[in-house]
Amino acid sequence: MRRLTTLFPSEFLEEHAEELGVVEREGKLQIPVLVWALVFGFAAGESRTLAGFRRCYNATADEPISSGGFYHRLTPTLAEYLRDLVEAALDEVAVPDAVDADIDRFRDVMIADGTVLRLHEFLSDEFQARHEEQAGAKLHLLHNATDQTIERIDVTDEKTHDSALFKTGSWLQGRLVLFDRAYFKYRRFALIDENDGYFVSRLKQNANPVITAELREWRGRAIPLEGKQIHDVVNDLSRKYIDVEVEAEFKRGQYEGTRSLDTKRFRVVGVRNEDADDYHLYITNLPREEFLPADLATLYRCRWEVETLFRELKTQYELDEFDTNNPDVVKILLYAALLSLLVSRELLDLVTEQADDEIVFPPERWAATFRSHAQLILHELGEYLGYSPPPLLERLIEDAQKIHQQRPILQETLATATQPRCES
């Protein structure tokens, strides 16, 4: 419990909530309990309901909170507060990875990616989707595979392109960035190179740069590639690797109202996929002298680290199942899920420290274990923090009673309908 309270000290949780105006100064809501109820309430159970979060809170806090009082506090300010907690935890929590590539050559290996979260159709104005009569949010992550941390999180609507969230600059110096095709832009690659950074990206199907040189000599009657466009010849090749220099044309950023054309030379590598009888094509500025084609394919597999995070959020925490048409609640639940993931990783780090060296904890198996013990952890955490919830019987009565006095339950309706009518 000390590990968790060091990550989020109660004093910090209360002070920051007061700074943002999450609660009234004299309010009865206990902010540390609310935070931990959202964290462990999101992990526990088969569904994520607001009633379930309230029950987690009432099972831990000194005084229960009513349904109306709980829902009243699900505000944009609370969403902002939880986002701040996510940002704070990102600086502290390691995200274990299984990268087996040699990445010591770089200052950091960064992975940019995004995933779509399907929302209630009534939220289509707030969270525009690619298709009509749908609503969708997009979660963007910038993952540092070297430091095992998530460096940046952004939440947008589905129509916001992943590429718009990635900014180039001097921070790229010495860093390698791994992209999927959603981030593909020759101008972006040129700027990374000009900032002394490195990149590896999959080559888009509609990108067809001209080959200017072959970086590997082939014996015999090899098909000459120089002067041809890569996609025009790739289907005619059967060699194990393709390793060429290409020239790409692109538009520079706008300057004094105009955008000038420019060209840049990059390296394109193809690694043959025998099962599919085609090539995985990568574009990069990494030199052949240090990175052979097989090395690039190995480096690019580091991208599975962020894919694994997305899969865990969706399968273990059901992140893409939002049964609400309130945009503020969507953001609150999203940040609660991310906090659950980060707290889970912090506990995994603790468990790994305490376990024997030869024991391995697969991330998804750990996530399932964390979920199954979430209520128990929350109970022990409440005791550690000195909270004294009402007796169990009182909580059962509070949670199980009928809330709307004017709304008959089924048994009452049936009893009334089946009563014998008096003769007039």
Q: Domain residue spans in the chain?
A: 2-93+326-400, 108-310
Judge whether residue 94 has pLDDT over 70: no
Classify 335 as helix, strand or coil. Answer: helix
Q: How many CA atoms lie within 13 A of 38 on its CB side?
A: 26
Q: How confident is the model at residue 424 (pLDDT cuts 50, 70, 90)?
A: very low
Q: Which amino acid is at 85?
A: L
Q: Which of 196, 205, 189, 214 is nearest to 284 (CA)?
A: 189
pLDDT at 399 over 60: yes
Instruction: Give DSSP secondary structure letters for 336-401.
Output: HHHHHHHHHHHHHHHHHHHS-TT----HHHHHHHHHHTHHHHHHHHHHHTT--PPPHHHHHHHHHS
Query: Using one digit for the tens of pLDDT, what is the confidence trace for 225-235?
Result: 889 999 988 88
CA-to-CA dists, residue 389 to 58, 177, 395, 401, angstroms: 7, 49, 9, 18
3-class state of residue 249 by DSSP: strand
Which residue shows structure tokens 């506990």?
A: 347
Res. 192 pLDDT band, cuts 50 70 90: very high
Longest dimension (CA), the chain: 109
pLDDT in tens, 337-371: 888 888 888 888 889 889 998 898 887 788 889 88
- Percent of the chain exceeding pLDDT 70 equals 87
pLDDT at 236: 84
Directed axis angle between helix 50-58 and helix 392-400, to 10°?
160
Q: Which of 189, 160, 164 is nearest to 177 (CA)?
A: 189
| Mean pLDDT, rounded, of the chain | 84
At 202, list the tokens: 């999959």
User: Which position has the higher pLDDT, 93 or 387?
Assistant: 387
317, 326 Cβ separation under 8 angstroms: no
CA 420 to chain CA centroid, Å, is 61
Supply the pLDDT for residue 362. 83
pLDDT digits (tens, 9 = 90+) for 201-214: 999 989 999 999 98
The yes-or-no verdict on residue 401 having pLDDT over 80 is no
Count of other CB atoms within 10 angstroms of residue 46: 7
